[in-house]
Structure 1
Amino acid sequence: MAPDDKDHTFATRFRIPRRMWDAYGTAADRQGIDRSADLVDHVRSFIKQHGNDHELAELAAAEQELAERRARKGGRPRKEKTG
């Protein structure tokens, strides 16, 4: 798939045992957490903790892109607590 300069979020693939992914999904659901959002939060936290100046600048630019996209689309959907 060719990169699209207009789409700054992309689906990426990584290898993980199906049982681990499924367990993560059910545990996250039980806590009212979206797996994708949780992974993005983890990546953000990891970069803040371990990133160099360039990586921190890239994170800031990515956060700006997310803010602009959410502003155009009416904001981030509200998280719904289950249970």
Structure 2
Amino acid sequence: MIEPETGISILDLGLVRVTREGGELVITYIPVSAYTPPILSMSIGIQILKKCEKVKVMIDNYYLKDEINRRLEAIRNELSRISSKTIT
């Protein structure tokens, strides 16, 4: 994934952290700046969710992290709900 403000991979920039919380894989994205436009931070979070459906995605070191993390969790839950309906 490319960081939209720099045009460089978020992995190459070291903006991704992978951890485990209670057995759950967590991917944390740290925006280049604490004041990156919210839509860009949210967009990266959604892109990660689309590629890694079974993980929790979070934004850190960002002034709107709580709000964006709530929204990312809601999207994750909805994707999971849709996925489980499709399977049954």
Q: Could you tell me the TM-score, scaled by structure 1's length?
A: 0.34
Q: Could you tell me the TM-score, scaled by structure 2's length?
A: 0.33
Higher strand share: 2
Higher helix share: 1
Bigger relative CO (Cα 8 Å, ≥ 6 apart): 1
